[in-house]
Structure 1
Amino acid sequence: MAELWDAYNKNFNKIENKTLIRGESIPDGAYHLVSEIVVKHTDGSYLLMQRDFRKHHGGKWKLTAGGSALQGEDELEAAVRELKEETGLSGEMKEIGRAVRHDHHSFYVVYLCEADFEKDSIVLQEGETIGYKWVDKETMFKLDGNELASSRTLEIVKKLDL
């Protein structure tokens, strides 16, 4: 079954009666919604997830769990679902930033989920992730494009000094 997304205009308003389908081209003037979650332990360490080798940027690490909002979901609902699917974790979310990638027709809403997680309780999602590790802030800030799938969220964390 195809994954369906709501379409948004450049002002982040939902376009009524417009559905996007994962894998199909997104028309100019339309965007889809992506929620990303930075997971921070109360001891100050951050969760890095390693992407499945079959995915774009396979084998690289990402600072977030997350993905596209399904049709009918808002950004927070998508964040809660994606965090549970990709890590097995749940917790309170705090929005920390937004970004737009016009070339990808994507709006990104970034959340921070900080809690006293059991560090070995991460559940990897088949086909999405193949590994995880907890790193301190200094180690995380030293990661570069050869290791990270994207630096977008890392820049938000640096800017806010989280």
Structure 2
Amino acid sequence: MVTIDRATEADAETISALLGEIEAYYGGENVPGDLAQVRAALFSARPAATVLLARDGENVVGMASYTFLWPASGADTSLYLKELYVREDARRHGVARALMDALRDEATSAGCSRVEWTADRDNPTALAFYEAMGAEENQGKVFYRSER
């Protein structure tokens, strides 16, 4: 039975390890994220994001990180999913769906008008998952990135 809860500072090392796994998933090295950066980004006086963790008993099997965007439509706020990740041995067991359901609940509790996210076009598994959930690709946006 998978449970979903908000990460606390006690989870920082686990989140750091998950960040390394995510980096490896996208072709980089499996090096844990900088623990000080994780703590500052998630548990400082002004957190940049919130993380939900999926747990199977004591084992963390997945995570979702999100933030809020404003304005979304008019003066509405949206919940923006930045990262959805399920550990390999837990995939195809409903963990991602449980995380997405929890994100919807978080959005509803925060009064958001929608949940938004991006996905890599070269990740057909993710794209099929989102499509199976009833999500539709938004053709109206172009994604930009500027390195500082």
Q: Tell me the TM-score normalised to structure 2 length.
A: 0.29
- Between Structure 1 and Structure 2, the one with more helix by share is 2
Q: Which of the pair has the greater relative contact order for Cα pairs under 8 Å at 6+ separation?
A: 1
Q: Tell me the TM-score normalised to structure 1 length.
A: 0.27
- Between Structure 1 and Structure 2, the one with more strand by share is 1
